[in-house]
Structure 1
Amino acid sequence: IIWITFAPITSVAADYYNVSVRAIVGLSLVFLALYVPASGFSSWLFESYGIRKGLFVGAGLNLVSALIRFLSTQQGTDGSYTGAYAVLMIGQTVAAVAQPFFTNLPARFAATWFGVKQRDIATTIFVSANLIGIALGSILPTIFADVNDETVDMFTLLLVELGTVTASSLLIFFLFREEPPTPPSKTADEKRAAKLSGQNRVSAKENAIQVWRDVQKAFSEKNFVLIFIASGTGLGFFNSLTTLVETLTKPAGYSTDNAGTFSIAFLGCGLVSAGIFGVIMDKTHKYITLLRILATVATLATFGLCLSIRPDNIGLISAFFGILGSFMIPLLPLAFELAAECTYPLVPEDISTGLIMSGGQVTGIGFLLGMEALIGQQPDFTTNDDFKYEFTPTYIIAVIAVFIFWVAAMSFNGEYKRLKAEGSETETALADTNKAESM
């Protein structure tokens, strides 16, 4: 919610805080810029103190960030909002540090709490929970914005978000537990046995060194590098697209409300599709086949979206946003599972997931800055008839990104090491999977 709040209302938020549109884009950019160091910090905390204490830190940071953001709506004694943007940016920065505590955890949490037959769908549900937050963060601002007057009730908007974050943080503080009473799988049992025997009991400094070694081990695996490149470019494009949806469509004459519609189509269809593909992943374990199908359709949908963003074309644009979301969003939980499979048992799930997410944030910075700059340079669709049918430089960046993503995804052919270690639980699934994917 916090990350995406200002993307659908970029223009009115800039007016409210009396800053440039680029400054508002910077509120999302800080999440991408801080993701890698914050990810290292969260991984170290998880390895040193466990999932529960790590999540407590993340929830606490989220709560503090939401409160600081709300304080940015308070007027000074002279009735002005002088310094409000700086306060808002501080709040966004705190939230950016908190983000990896939640986004890097799905694969590890699923492996800790769920058996082989539920693990894939559990990962998908946890990833979808994050996407639901993004969807809410895209919808809420449009409810409190007046498109005609180009104003926004920022006080109420950030107060509602503060209440939402407070409720979710309290649930974590009072209900979350470290692990189930009984390990749900063979690999989970092995990890718990190692923990109880003291094999993993090392100092915080040694844990920091071990995290770095785990990173090196991950990148020594060729197929992890391929899924890292594929998911990095795909997630980077996703981040820039969700952040710039209003900025991207405004030159074609679309309003803040329209941008909200596009975001809902993208995320809503993606959530439904993620649930469907999560079930398919759980039933078949045909990860590589699914990766190739999703990557191919998502690439074609990107071409279609780029060609459809023209005046008076809201239906087709919404359709392509929906198709793109349907085939791009399920790729994230799939990438988490593939990364965990090809690096098992050398790399913990939160490390491989954190690297996947970090790659997306780093590439997202480049895509975001590049696309935002090119959008600012292009002519207005509504005033230049000759421009209406051109394939703009902004879209060329998008096409290059998804082409790199597609090539890397199609090249991936990693071994399912974790599934094999589970033994008889997955023997049948593996036999069917290997037979199908060797064709």
Structure 2
Amino acid sequence: MEVYRSVIMDGIAEKGDVLESPTKKGALEYTVFPMRWLVLFTYVVFSISTMMQWVQYTIIQDAVVKYYGVSSFEVYWTSMIFMIVYLLLIIPASWLLDKTNLRVTIIISSFGTCLGAWLKVFSVSQDMFWLSFVGQTVVAVAQVFMFNVPPRLAAVWFGADQVSSACSIGLCGNLLGVAVGFVLPPLLVRASGSIPEIAADLRLMFYLIAGFTTVLFVFILLFFKAAPPSPPSAAADISNSLDSNFLLSLKKLITNRNYVLLLMCYGLVIGIFYAISTLLNQVILSYYPDANVDAGRIGLVFVLAGMVGSVVCGLILDKTHRFKETIVSVYGASAVGMLVFTFTLNCGYISVVYLSSILLGFFLIGYLPAGVEFGSELTYPGPEATTAGMLNAMGQIFGLLITHLYEWMLRSVGDRWANLTLCALLACGAAITAAIRSDLRRQAAQNTSKQ
């Protein structure tokens, strides 16, 4: 076991509120348990099973349109429904996590993911696209309850010097799910196949995902734990001792100037990520018409590079605790990466597009854990799930707006101006980020406890 020794602080002041530690001035050993890695690994695998279904239809849009006889717009909404449902349910989902625990929330989410996957198994008939959409909607509801878990899981289970890394690993589960969603459907479903062949391919894909989610649901019921026997850090100890008032937490969030600025910056990054992910197939095929499989692989390397960037950012934050400097640097690099992606699309060499996608993904997606952890720092001791939930809600709002704008611009003025618009939005986000004051409250609590 790893042991952290510290003295809990008497209290920290936050806008007139005094927080007293549960043990006053007594010294306390903080122990982290090996079980934390199983809990984190289980969450990562589960989030993969959910998020892989987000782009399950849009990345094989041409095959879905051909088989079900629906429009591209209808297929496009199988992805957009995830954003709509998130906005509708984020408040009750955050309240549930705040009032219950990680285990209850993950069990509910896992059951919904499993149910939605099995509904799709029965939607292979050509006149059953509506049932596919229902199944997709059920999975979308389920993802609301798991999407905000990483910062809360990291704070509940991990010590002060691992919390940012644990959060970034948890977010990597979401990203890896998107990556699998990019690469698996094009490999399983032949867009150029006959109708019977596409039917067989879809049936195989749906059964594989349904079986996977069923096994995971059973595993979560048996092994996923709500919390360790004792808090892993002083910050977690103090946070656990507070009586949570959900409405008051929301009020403090929306009146926190630094957090409101972060909401805008985070929303822009998420929105651009969603727009590119949703319409990547369309963008790539406009230059490389026969590159259906390559479109999925480019999405894969885009997200995998982002996962590496996320872990690197998490490690940097754990070592330096320089949150603002890190996210300003990553934001600026994302704008540069978007410019490179924009001007290499028409180079004629798809290998170059792979490389520019890696550069863009590393910084754009790598920003996400840094933004979430910075939000937790700015709003401590507020509930991490609520803080992350509001960030993700803003991401969904911007996702809807930017994806619609991007889709319209692709049709109206072409990808060059559409991508340059995303570059301009990233530059604006970097400027707003620079205006955020680095008010690291959780670090202040940790530093006080160590004295």
TM range (shorter): 0.7 to 0.9
Q: In the aligned structure 2, how far is the partner of 1:320 from the partner of 1:169? A: 38
Q: How does 1:145-164 map to 2 (within 5 A)?
A: 145-149=189-193, 152=198, 153-164=201-212
2:375 — aligned with what?
339
Residue by residue over 1:285-326, the C-alpha shift from the partner in whole angstroms, topping out at 9 and shown as x without a partner, is 111111111111111110111111116231221111100111
2:179 — aligned with what?
135
Tell me by how many angstroms 1:424 deviates. Answer: 5.2
1:417 — aligned with what?
441
2:101 — aligned with what?
50
Q: How does 1:21-100 map to 2 (within 5 A)?
A: 21-73=72-124, 75=125, 81-82=126-127, 84-100=128-144
Residue by residue over 1:151-181, the C-alpha shift from the partner in whole angstroms, topping out at 9 and shown as x without a partner, is 7411111111112222222222211111101
Q: How does 1:17-416 map to 2 (within 5 A)?
A: 17-73=68-124, 75=125, 81-82=126-127, 84-149=128-193, 152=198, 153-194=201-242, 199-200=243-244, 210-254=245-289, 255-310=291-346, 312-345=348-381, 347-378=382-413, 392-416=416-440
Q: Give structure 1 stretches of 5+ with no counterpart.
A: 76-80, 201-209, 380-390, 428-439
Tell me by how many angstroms 1:411 deviates. Answer: 2.1
Tell me by how many angstroms 1:413 deviates. Answer: 2.3
Q: In the aligned structure 1, how far is the partner of 2:330 from the partner of 2:410? A: 28
1:388 — aligned with what?
none
Tell me by how many angstroms 1:273 deviates. Answer: 2.3
Q: In the aligned structure 2, how far is the partner of 1:418 from the partner of 1:225? A: 18
Change in Cα spacing, 1:378 to 1:146, as seen in structure 2 (3 Å) is: farther
Q: In the aligned structure 2, how far is the partner of 1:249 from the partner of 1:406? A: 27
1:437 — aligned with what?
none
Q: In the aligned structure 2, how far is the partner of 1:408 from the partner of 1:275? A: 24
C-alpha contact (below 8 Å) 1:367/1:397 kept by paired residues? no
1:434 — aligned with what?
none
Q: In the aligned structure 2, how far is the partner of 1:363 from the partner of 1:224? A: 16
Letter in 2 for 1:127: L
Q: In the aligned structure 2, how far is the partner of 1:400 from the partner of 1:22? A: 26
Letter in 2 for 1:324: L
Residue by residue over 1:136-159, the C-alpha shift from the partner in whole angstroms, topping out at 9 and shown as x without a partner, is 111110111325448741111111
Letter in 1 for 2:432: A
Q: In the aligned structure 2, how far is the partner of 1:419 from the partner of 1:123? A: 16
C-alpha contact (below 8 Å) 2:267/2:395 kept by paired residues? yes
Tell me by how many angstroms 1:328 deviates. Answer: 1.4
C-alpha contact (below 8 Å) 1:45/1:54 kept by paired residues? yes
Change in Cα spacing, 1:425 to 1:332, as seen in structure 2 (3 Å) is: farther
Letter in 2 for 1:409: T
Secondary structure in structure 2 of the residue aligned to 1:99: helix
For normalisation by structure 1, the TM-score amounts to: 0.86
Change in Cα spacing, 1:293 to 1:213, as seen in structure 2 (3 Å) is: same
For normalisation by structure 2, the TM-score amounts to: 0.83
Residue by residue over 1:229-272, the C-alpha shift from the partner in whole angstroms, topping out at 9 and shown as x without a partner, is 11101001001111111012221124211211211220111112
Secondary structure in structure 2 of the residue aligned to 1:336: helix
Q: In the aligned structure 2, how far is the partner of 1:416 from the partner of 1:193? A: 20
Q: In the aligned structure 2, how far is the partner of 1:63 from the partner of 1:136? A: 17
C-alpha contact (below 8 Å) 1:340/1:418 kept by paired residues? yes
Identity across matched positions, percent:
24
How many aligned positions are there? 395
Q: In the aligned structure 2, how far is the partner of 1:353 from the partner of 1:185? A: 20
Q: In the aligned structure 2, how far is the partner of 1:406 from the partner of 1:372? A: 24
Q: Stretches of 4+ moved more than 4 A in 1?
A: 424-427
2:39 — aligned with what?
none
Residue by residue over 1:321-373, the C-alpha shift from the partner in whole angstroms, topping out at 9 and shown as x without a partner, is 1001111112111111111111112x210001001111111111111122222
The alignment yields a C-alpha RMSD, in angstroms, of 1.8
